Amino acid sequence: MKLLHTADWHIGRTLNGFSLLDEQQAIFQQILQIAETEQVDGIVIAGDIYDRGVPSTSAVTALNQMLTSLNLEHHFPIYAVSGNHDSAERLNYGRDWLATQGFHLNTRLADAFQPIETPTTQIFLLPFFDPMDARAYYAKQGVDEETVKAIHSISDAMVRVVADMQAHFDPDKRHLLVTHFAVTPSGANPEELTSETTSKVGGLATLSTQQFNCFDYVMLGHIHTRNASPDRERMRYAGSPVKFNVKEANEQKGVDIVTITADQVTHTFKPLQPQTDLVALKAPWEQLTDPDFYDQQPRKQAWFAITIQDFDRSQHLNVRAQLQKIYGTVVELDYEDHHRPTATSRARRQIATLSPDEIVNAFFETVTGKDLSAEQAQLVDQIFTKLSKEHA
């Protein structure tokens, strides 16, 4: 059996206000071509199919065309789960009907325990869920109240969920799991991973690889880089097929082709080429505006995220406009001063450590490139003093 593993499509996503829909449609055509060339037996989509719970009309239309092409026109079975960005209830619409066409989509914990059966493999589809979902499910199953209340974390819930899935294992078949969670090797620091929101894996608790050791192979979604795969051989992230932020600018995106035999499960990475690449540049202003430098860049062909080093913004006007004239579309513009902390570096500090005055000063510096003057700082202090008295 051969499956194509992809995840985190986030259909409808934007990059700092720029729509990625054309990029996602172009990448989809490459995924379809790989599936045809490899003659796969199915497509796995490991969650976050949409970018938001209530997607736009254009996003719904685009995804409908993609899934129709895969499933109805090219007759690929689809094995999919909902992620934390998806609306489980909205995606669940028509689930039973879709399954008759070979489109298997699980969005509720209750549906995860019965595997999809193939002649050689059992495929378990476990959607994203939180501890309260697990509590509600097991309470409906008649589990005693004390046991239900003992489910405090996603790790507590997963121990029981995996045990209940394992009870349905056919010993004569391979056991595959498709799911959407942050999973790390035992003892690893979860902050080393990146997801669709922050470097702390979207603020979501992580699970351990040990909790899934009963499966022959685990196809993961949620983390947008395959390099974060907790077990490079048995538990892998497909990563997102499109670059969604600057952290991913230098990453090669792609999909995995997973081959299941009686003896082993193997994977092969297949690269995807962006229609419009995302290029991150960090250099002083003089270098960025030097033809010897910028003529080496894919000007007018890529999107650029530019960080200007050691830059005095008070000496330059319309910085973004000047850079866009040289490079084309600039989706992100930042500044880095090695001599003193900038608003960007300050923003990385925890907001709880900043006073209201410091927050205003950081915002002012972001806009103007300067700190508040003594008179401005005094005015800000007076305003906050007055507000605190009014709410005392």
Structural domains for the chain: 2-271 (3.60.21.10), 278-390 (no CATH)
pLDDT value, residue 59: 93
pLDDT value, residue 203: 40
DSSP sequence for 326-369: HHS-EEEEEEE-SSS--HHHHHTS-GGGS-HHHHHHHHHHHHHS
pLDDT tens, residue by residue, 365-381: 766 667 778 788 778 77
pLDDT value, residue 318: 84
CA-to-CA distance for 103 and 95, rounded, in angstroms?
Answer: 8
Q: Across-strand partners of 101?
A: none
- For the chain, what's the residue count? 392
Instruction: Collect all residues with Cβ–Cβ distance below 8 Å to 249 and sequence separation of at least 6.
Output: 243, 278, 279, 280, 305
pLDDT value, residue 195: 47
DSSP 48: -
pLDDT value, residue 339: 56
pLDDT tens, residue by residue, 184-240: 886 555 444 444 444 334 345 678 899 999 999 999 999 999 999 888 889 999 999
47 — phi, psi (to 5°)? 90, 165
Please state the pTM of the whole predicted model: 0.80
For 70, 176, 224, the CA distances from 199, given in Å and listed in that order, are 33, 28, 11
pLDDT value, residue 231: 84
pLDDT value, residue 105: 93
pLDDT value, residue 139: 92
**pLDDT tens over the chain, length 392 residues:** 999 999 999 999 988 888 999 999 999 999 999 999 999 999 999 999 999 888 899 999 999 999 999 999 999 999 999 999 888 788 777 777 788 888 999 999 999 999 999 999 999 999 999 999 999 999 999 999 999 999 988 999 999 999 999 999 999 999 999 999 999 886 555 444 444 444 334 345 678 899 999 999 999 999 999 999 888 889 999 999 999 988 888 899 999 999 999 889 999 999 999 999 999 999 999 999 999 999 999 999 999 999 999 877 666 778 889 999 999 999 988 888 755 554 455 555 455 456 677 788 777 776 666 777 878 877 877 787 676 555 54
Alpha helices (H) in the chain, listed in sequence order? 21-38, 57-68, 88-91, 95-99, 131-140, 145-149, 154-166, 285-288, 291-294, 319-327, 343-347, 356-368, 374-390
CA-to-CA distance for 277 and 295, rounded, in angstroms?
Answer: 16
CA-to-CA distance for 257 and 69, rounded, in angstroms?
Answer: 19
For 14, 246, 273, the CA distances from 285, given in Å and listed in that order, are 28, 19, 30
Strands 42-46 and 78-81: parallel
C-alpha angle with apex 207: 206 to 211, nearest 5 degrees?
Answer: 180
Residue pair 230/221 in contact (Cβ under 8 Å)? The answer is no
DSSP 164: H
